[in-house]
Amino acid sequence: MVHRIWIKNLGLAVQAADGANLLDILRHEGLAPEAPCGGRGSCKKCAVAVDGIEQLACRTTVKGDMTVVLPEKSGRASVLVSGCGVSSEMDPICPGYLLAFDIGTTTIVCYLLDENGTELAAAGMLNPQAPFGADVISRIQHALSGTMERLTSCIRGGLEELTIQVCRKAGIPADQIGVVSVVGNPCMQQLFLGILPQNLASVPFAPVITMSSVCPAKDVLPLWENALLLTVPDISGYVGADTVGCVLATRMYEDERLTLMVDIGTNGEMVLGNRDRMVACSTAAGPALEGAGIKFGMHGAPGAIDHVRLSGGALHVSVIGDEPAKGICGSGLIDAIAHLLELGLVDMRGRLAASSDHIDGERVVRLTDTIYITQNDIREVQMAKGAIAAGITLMANQLGTPVSEIDRVLLAGAFGSFLQPESVCRIGLLPPVLLGKIQAVGNAAGSGAKLAACNRREFARTDELVKKIQFLELASLPDFRHKFAMNMRF
């Protein structure tokens, strides 16, 4: 039996089979609300109104005709496109305009360059796979359960849309593109290329893309009919080509200074070393720092609290777009917790003071009349920061050097670009001893993708870097559990 679903606020009708899951139907139609938990019912962010009653789309079974009202979408999220600003001699693998992509779990960024390496246009978007979960684990599970084709279609559709945007801005036809380079984490790369990520679902989590490759770009996306597609290799199953791009762009591989490069996204990828030796690791930081799993967590879009300051013993919030607060993004969350520690409202174990407000039996701290931080929010941040801080310590141990000997810290990615170093060090996400050594380097992964597109030797160097960088499997180290537990404390 087929039922009619009327999407009231869009004036659109879709059909669904009896017994179908509403979130699956909305995903298929490209209408799904956010579902950071991947549809498991734990994040409670896919709420819709069904016949006037709010309920979770992921827990709603279609049993008859229904009227659905989707949640109002927040304003367009800010996607970081600026990078390291490095340049290279022009020697592309073939003539024509150049495209470079950074495919992240949360966002996708595209750059269009001319044959002189000048950036003509850039554009970014939220990853359209978001309704399938905020983290790579959720998307791997969906791919293995039969939605692989849909996930690949989402990614390729996003890249096609961005290609059209930048070509329109620059006033050139897509058939004049000669090179397309792509970086991304291993899961995003495999989903983009149509490679089932079953290798990432079980030990030893071995990467499939271990060497750089070149193929006709039209084999992946017909729009790129005259281009060659350059794929950058991965370091491990969870340290990918995006990390290789960061190392390439920051030139840390040729610097004598001991450098820590940290790219905090839905996972935390880190590289520590210099021209003599480098080690890398991935931490299960989770997507909390990008808003998922947080009561009022959201992307850095209008309405998001992006910073919190302490003045006169009170918390004051900064909201993107200077409009009423709708939620809080990662940078605001880190600021808030840092100040709560200063006020004594959170102790070293992460417990909110008994004097805190209580909502539904849980301790909370209000940031505005409608937005508050819960005890669970703080626990989510503790888990993320504990894993990252433990990873830094263990990488330093592997190199036989104290953390205090690190000469500089490069924060890559959108999250790192908006963090207040004082807040990051106050909560212990980065060791306090490194406070004066921190600098943001923007979308370094995207800068690395541009370098690979511009110069064939830079592209070849990615293979050299993969061989040089030693991957450190944190979970296999006997000290990891202890270091993780210790670093959970503030």
pLDDT of residue 474: 92
For a pLDDT cut of 90, what percent of the chain falls above it?
69
**How many whole angstroms separate alpha carbon 60 and alpha carbon 408?**
50
* pLDDT tens digits along 49-91: 888 888 888 889 888 888 888 877 655 555 666 666 667 799 9
pLDDT of residue 53: 85
* pLDDT tens digits along 113-158: 999 999 999 999 999 998 898 888 899 999 999 999 999 999 999 9
The single residue listed with the structure tokens 């004049």 is: 176
Residue 273 near residue 265 (C-beta atoms within 8 A): no
pLDDT of residue 391: 96
| Whether pLDDT at 306 is above 90 | yes
Please compute the mean of the pLDDT values over residues 360-382 and round it to a whole number.
Answer: 93
Please compute the mean of the pLDDT values over residues 303-322 and round it to a whole number.
Answer: 93
Instruction: List the end-to-end C-alpha distance of the chain, in Å, as a whole number.
Output: 56
CA neighbor of 186 nearest in space, from 254, 122, 104: 104
**Three-state secondary structure along 407-468?**
CEEEEEHHHHHHCCHHHHHHCCCCCHHHHHHEEEEECHHHHHHHHHHHEHHHHHHHHHHHHH
Q: How confident is the model at residue 298 (pLDDT cuts 50, 70, 90)?
A: confident
Residue 104 token pair: 């992240």
pLDDT of residue 35: 76
| Whether pLDDT at 367 is above 80 | yes
Which helix (H) or strand (E) covers residue 379, if one does? helix 375-399
Quickly list DSSP for 186-218. Answer: HHHHHHHHT--GGGGSSTT---S--S-EEEEGG
CATH topology of domain 2-69: Ubiquitin-like (UB roll) (3.10.20)
Q: How confident is the model at residue 414 (pLDDT cuts 50, 70, 90)?
A: confident
Name the residue ranges covered by the structural domains of the chain. 2-69, 97-250
Tell me whether the omega of the peptide bond preceding residue 204 falls within 30 degrees of 0, making it cis. Answer: yes
Average pLDDT of every residue of the chain = 91
Q: Cα 441 to chain center, whole Å? A: 16
Q: How confident is the model at residue 6 (pLDDT cuts 50, 70, 90)?
A: confident
| Whether pLDDT at 445 is above 60 | yes
Give the single-character DSSP code of 269.
Answer: E
CATH topology of domain 97-250: Nucleotidyltransferase; domain 5 (3.30.420)
